Structures are given as structure tokens and as C-alpha cells.
Amino acid sequence: MKVFIVGFGNIGTNLVRIITEKNNELQQKYGDSFQIIAIADSKGVYKGFKNNEEILEAKLNGRSEEFRIKDIDISKSIADLEYDILVEVTSSTPSGEPGITYVKRAMEKKKHVVTANKSILVQNFDIIDYARKMGVIFKFEATVCGSIPVFNTIDNYYSKAKIKKVSGAFNATSSYIIRMMENGFSFRDALDIAIKEGLTERNYEDDLLGIDSARKALILHNYIFKKRMKMNEIENLAKIEDVKPGMGLISEIEDSKITIKYVEKSEKSKIFDFNGAGMSFTITTDLFNTQTLIVDQDGPWESAAAVYSDLVDILKVRILE
């Protein structure tokens, strides 16, 4: 299957690496694999490479500019290029743009779409219905808790139950920084290490003030409870002075409300039972009581792996058609 990737940062680069490393295995297992036909970012569109290996090697060695065509509009490329799946992994923005436009343009061209961009669903949750209307598959596992298979679990295992409540530690950066502080690092040193590791940006407020957690919680709430809650309706109590040893950032989701706050870890021991840049997802239902999924490490590689999983799911559906 032909893939067009929009976004060539940490997630996009790791996705190219995963596709390249797993393609032979995929071909042997399913009789098909992924051919990356183009990659785009804010600098332009990268085309003309012979295969996945060539663009990966160029990117890792600082030579990707050899394949960059500067004056090409990304939206036009989405409309004009021949591919089967658009992968949209640009950064989240307050408005959800340009990601929303990219995704809708691809859907209008009857292309399947995979995204890791939370802001698309935060600002336009109805895009899920739009995908159905266009008759295409829209996958977004990486938007919430990275490598924890949240939506696959909800759609499959928990589809037989009534979900009452969801909670968890949805932000790996805050978990990582607090864990480093517990190991003796100052807040500033822990933050600098997190930035170096690619876990956060220099403007860290999204992570530490609960905004990233709120976006994820909003997507989950609207998906599970079939609502259309907005960001300004979330009770976000997260404060920077609460980023300290012994604390943890928790999201609590119920039918009528979402709360984001720092709590003493001892109060929610299962939710914070992970190491380093971890996350957790706890779900309470009428059939299965309360269960928790935990990942000890989450970052660009894990998000890329979740995107790859979505790609493989689409490939498997196409094979069965």
C-alpha cells in the first residue's frame, strides 16, 4: 500500500524507521507492505527517493534536503498524489489547523487516514462521522496514551460492557519529571533532560499544566459517552507548584464531567505504578469492574508504533476486501 506521511519530526521519522524495519516481515505475513511515496513538513514535500530505505538513511544522516521540493503546497499534494493512506503526524495546534484541512482533503479523495494529532479530534470530533460518510477508514490510536491500545481495547473488549468511568495518568512528561525529582534532580534539571529526550518542548505548559491531559481526556470522553464536550468545560486544577516529588497528574472522566489535577500518588497507587515516562489507563465498567493498562515508557517511538499498528489494521482490512 502506498503511504503519504505529513509530518517529518520525531514521530514521522520513527514511523519511517519502523515501516522500513518491519516491511519484509509484513510482506511475508500478509503478502503486502508499505511504500512511502512522499513525506511533507513545513519546509516542503520530499519526493523522488527510490525506496523507504533511501529516505530514512538521508534523514538520519542530515541529507533529506536532497529530496525536498520547496514550493509545493501540502494540501495540493494531498489532493494530487497517488497513495492509499495519508498519515498525519503534525504537531497539535489550538485551532486544529492545518491538520483538519489535510485530513478532510484526503478523505474527500477517498483516502484512508491515520493521525497522531490530538487537536484534530479536539476541535472537530465530527470528523469521525465525516470519514464514515466518505467511506474511508480513520484511525487515531496514537492520539491518546501513545502505545496503550486505548481505542482498540474500548472497541473490542469493552464493547460488550457499559463504561462508567475512566481515569489515568495520561501525560508521560509530567510523570517523567516528577520521577526525576524523586531521584534527586531539581525541577529545572529534570525539565532540561525531558527536553533533550524529546519528551517535551521548551514551552512545557501544555504538559505540566494539564492541557495535554485535558485534550486526551476530552477525546476519550466524547468517544466513550457520545458527547460533544469542549475544552472550556473541563475542570483543570493542575498547577505548576504541584509538580513535586510524591505527586502525579491524574485525569478523571465521567459521563458529565472531566477533571484534571495533581494528587498524592499514594491515593491512586495503581494508576502511578510505572517507571519513568509512563502512562496508565484505568477503566470501570458494569461487567469487568476496574482494570488498568500501564506502559513504563512513552515517547515519539511509542507513538510511531501506535500509528504503525493503525496502518497494519487498515492493510488487513484491505486484504480481506
CATH 3.50.50.60 for domain 151-297: no
CATH 3.40.190.10 for domain 2-146+301-320: no
So what's the pLDDT on residue 202? 67
Please state the pTM of the whole predicted model.
Answer: 0.93
With beta carbons less than 8 A apart as the criterion, state whether 12 and 92 touch. Answer: no
DSSP H or E segment with residue 36: strand 35-41
So what's the pLDDT on residue 68? 92
Fold: same for 2-146+301-320 and 151-297: no
User: pLDDT digit string (tens) for 102-115?
Assistant: 999 999 999 999 99
With beta carbons less than 8 A apart as the criterion, state whether 262 and 248 touch. Answer: yes
So what's the pLDDT on residue 197? 84
User: pLDDT digit string (tens) for 143-194?
Assistant: 999 889 999 999 999 999 999 999 999 999 999 999 999 999 999 999 999 9
Cα gap 231→28, rounded to integer Å: 45
So where are the chain's domains?
2-146+301-320, 151-297
Q: Which residue has the cell 472537530?
A: 124
So what's the pLDDT on residue 297? 83
Cα gap 86→3, rounded to integer Å: 6
So what's the pLDDT on residue 318? 87
Strand partners, 87: 5, 114
Please give the DSSP secondary-structure letter assigned to residue 66: G
In this prediction, the residues of the chain whose per-residue pLDDT falls under 50 are none
Q: Which residue has the cell 482533503?
A: 105
